[in-house]
Amino acid sequence: MHNKTIADIARDLHSGEYSSVELTQHMLQRIEQLDSTYNSFITVTQQQALAQAKAADERRAAGNADFWTGVPIAHKDIFCTNGVLTSCGSKMLSNFVAPYDATVIDRFNHVGAVSLGKLNMDEFAMGSSNENSFYGAVANPWDTDRVPGGSSGGSAAAVAARLVPGATATDTGGSIRQPAAFCGLTGLKPTYGRVSRWGMIAYASSLDQAGTLTRNAEDAALMMNVMAGFDAKDSTCVDQAVPDYRAELNNSLEGLTIGLPKEYFRDDLSADMQQQVRNAIAEYEKLGAKVKEISLPNTHLAIPAYYIIAPAECSANLSRMDGVRFGYRCDDPQDINDLYKRSRGEGFGIEVKRRIMVGAYALSAGFYDAYYKKAQQVRRLIKNDFVEAFKEVDIIMSPTTPTPAFKRGEKTADPVAMYLEDIFTIALNLAGLPGMSIPCGEVDQLPVGLQLIGNYFDESRLLNAAHQYQQVTDWHLHAPADIA
């Protein structure tokens, strides 16, 4: 059962091959046996999952089931979940039990999905390796000495290890696409505003977006059919019609124009990585697509701009974590200043403190114009590059990451080297565009990701292109060697 996709499971439940309770018991047993190796879950909601599965079976017996009834998934621990610990991977929220459901959680509950629990992540979604969690680092199922990518590394590891068929995730600078590439998965970051952020703990509010981690594009389309759509509780959520993403998967790619930005095929990208990506693009040409070289001339400014804007927004968002209203509070504070200082000093990890300091500096009087305002101007230039590019092409392709998954501890002492792991993904978040990563090969027996970049609200075209590629290749079917 654990090797089946979301689409397979839904079909099996519908045909009565097994019940939701049987499936849920199997998945929970697998998590108990294996997750001590991967550390992908922070909280396993065993009793709730079994209750949801029982209710799903009753609903099916009564003839009221729909597609998602009884299908198990799990959620990144950044989504508030009513009555369940929502820690965001931080000591600061290690005692926070959310009193309400995020909109994403509510929508999956509404269609009858079964939640197996909450998944590990870099603290407050800050990281590219999932080594920054208060609950410990997550291991990549392809090689447990290597990172799964961050910040949605727990979501990626759980899906890659077949502990859950699909998971929610979030992407602020590549936190869905990079873990997808490192773990051989299909990861989708929708257009900013396509999925509600209400109830999702904010890192950088103008960049954060909820999305999916699955084993193939069809499952991503199925999850998007639940998640996408307007939410009046999120003022940044866009009121625009949502297509049936699954219905458009089989459209022909004949005549599709693919743009290859020359700035993304850099000289320092290894020959092996380039070859895998170019092999994938050759498959698209066989499917009828045309390839055109394009230029995104301000690409080199994306990382500097991102690491001003994101820390600035995080320093503002995390100011609410002060030990007074909720979350961690230090023991025996001497006065209010001691309460603030020690609660934040003890509650936040090193990477979070680093970004708060950078952000506070960038926003401070005398430096705002030189740093934050300038970074926002650069952001507009980057967006304009994409707007011009999409006048010539339908979709843009590039490597997702400059390297396959690296070893744990390899880059923790060098934050700049860690930040450069997101060099191909960050510009999309600054522009608010949708992006995907799909498996397209292997280097040193580790997965390599192909990044697909779409125009605004064009997730259907991304999913269609990914699905068609997965109909003629089998990289998405490869699994870690030790996964039975």
Q: Which residues are catalytic?
A: 76, 151, 175
Query: If 0-12 CB within 10 Å is exposed, 13-18 middle and 19+ buried, where does residue 444 land?
Result: exposed
In terms of phi and psi (left: phi > 0; alpha: psi -120 to 50; beta: otherwise), the region of 261 is: beta
Q: How far apart are CA 189 and CA 389, in angstroms?
A: 19
Three-class secondary structure of residue 89 per DSSP: coil
The answer to whether residues 306 and 174 touch, using CB atoms and an 8 Å cutoff, is no
Query: If 0-12 CB within 10 Å is exposed, 13-18 middle and 19+ buried, where does residue 235 land?
Result: exposed
For 141-196, give the DSSP string.
TTBTTB---SSSHHHHHHHHTTSSSEEEEEESSSTTHHHHHHHT-EEEEPPTTSB-
The answer to whether residues 258 and 290 touch, using CB atoms and an 8 Å cutoff, is yes
Q: How far apart are CA 44 and CA 301, in angstroms?
A: 41
The answer to whether residues 158 and 150 touch, using CB atoms and an 8 Å cutoff, is no
The answer to whether residues 321 and 345 touch, using CB atoms and an 8 Å cutoff, is no
The answer to whether residues 231 and 237 touch, using CB atoms and an 8 Å cutoff, is yes
Q: How far apart are CA 236 and CA 221, in angstroms?
A: 22
For 329-375, give the DSSP string.
--SS-SSHHHHHHHHHHHHS-HHHHHHHHHHHHHHSTTTTIIIIIHH
Indicate the helix (H) or strand (E) that contains 119.
Answer: strand 114-119
CA angle 160, 161, 162 (to 5 degrees): 90
Write the CA distances from 62 to 12, 57, 58, 59, 76, integer angstroms. 17, 9, 6, 5, 32
What does the block give as tokens for 378? 């650069």
Query: If 0-12 CB within 10 Å is exposed, 13-18 middle and 19+ buried, where does residue 99 land?
Result: exposed
Pairing mode, strands 257-261 and 395-399: parallel
Query: If 0-12 CB within 10 Å is exposed, 13-18 middle and 19+ buried, where does residue 438 land?
Result: buried
What does the block give as tokens for 406? 């690296």
